[in-house]
């Protein structure tokens, strides 16, 4: 597997899997689990961080910290040449947790986390004012059953 021209080997994937389970796992514990030296783990993790393959963050449970309105918003852009500009503006909003250009019925897919429904309405109204946004369709998530990182074993 290549990332920015630098190949990721089995050890890299094993390190990434350990860190996905516990981002605070010590280099010592990872080294013991993978039967390699602590120096090897330190070097590999630093390389993965420098290359932008991973970044170590504290991932919060949105519901437990007060986000009560999750939503998926389909954004229709007209003319189509405005897609990039609209995406760039939407991406700057702190409520946005996922943003992608699509090939389906709509042009952009946006997932947001808002404090409550009033905050969500304000967000949708704000993005609707962006030049090029023709229409939005919002689907509210009543309950999120799974919110996870990709399983690296799927790449094997």
Q: Which residues does 19 contact at the CB level (< 8 Å), separation at least 6?
A: 25, 30, 45, 54, 56
Q: Are residues 41 and 94 in the same domain?
A: no
Q: Are residues 46 and 75 in the same domain?
A: no
Q: Domain range spanning residue 128?
A: 68-141
Q: Are residues 46 and 104 in the same domain?
A: no
Number of domains in the chain: 2
Q: Are residues 30 and 75 in the same domain?
A: no
Give the model confidence (pLDDT) of 16-56 as tens digits: 999 999 999 999 999 999 999 999 999 999 999 999 999 98
Within a domain: 133: yes
Q: What is the DSSP letter of 152?
A: G
Whole-model pTM: value is: 0.80
Q: What angle do CA 4, 7, 11 make, to 5 degrees?
A: 130
Q: Are residues 43 and 91 in the same domain?
A: no
Give the model confidence (pLDDT) of 95-153 as tens digits: 999 999 999 899 999 999 999 999 999 999 999 999 999 999 999 999 888 888 888 88
Q: Are residues 45 and 80 in the same domain?
A: no
Buried-state track 123-152, b at ≥16 Cβ within 10 A, e below 16:
bbeebeebebbeebeeeeeeeeeeeeeeee
Q: Give the per-residue pLDDT at 104.
A: 87
Rounded (to 5) percent helix, strand, coil in the chain: 40, 20, 35
Q: Are residues 121 and 81 in the same domain?
A: yes
Q: Are residues 132 and 74 in the same domain?
A: yes
Within a domain: 2: no
Q: Are residues 38 and 72 in the same domain?
A: no
Q: Are residues 132 and 86 in the same domain?
A: yes
């Amino acid at each position: 597997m290549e990332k920015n021209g630098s190949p990721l080997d089995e050890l890299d994937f094993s390190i990434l899997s350990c860190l996905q389970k516990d981002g605070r796992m010590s280099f010592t514990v990872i080294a013991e689990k993978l039967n390699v030296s602590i120096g090897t783990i330190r070097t590999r993790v630093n390389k993965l961080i420098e290359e932008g393959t991973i970044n170590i963050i504290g991932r919060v449970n949105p519901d437990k910290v007060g986000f009560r309105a999750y939503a998926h918003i389909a954004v229709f852009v007209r003319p189509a040449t405005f897609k990039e500009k609209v995406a760039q503006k939407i991406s700057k909003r702190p409520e946005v947790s996922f943003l992608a250009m699509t090939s389906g019925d709509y042009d952009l897919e946006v997932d947001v986390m808002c404090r409550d429904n009033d905050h969500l309405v304000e967000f949708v109204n704000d993005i609707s004012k962006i030049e090029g946004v023709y229409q939005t369709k919002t689907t509210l998530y009543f309950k999120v059953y799974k919110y996870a990182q990709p399983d690296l074993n799927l790449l094997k």
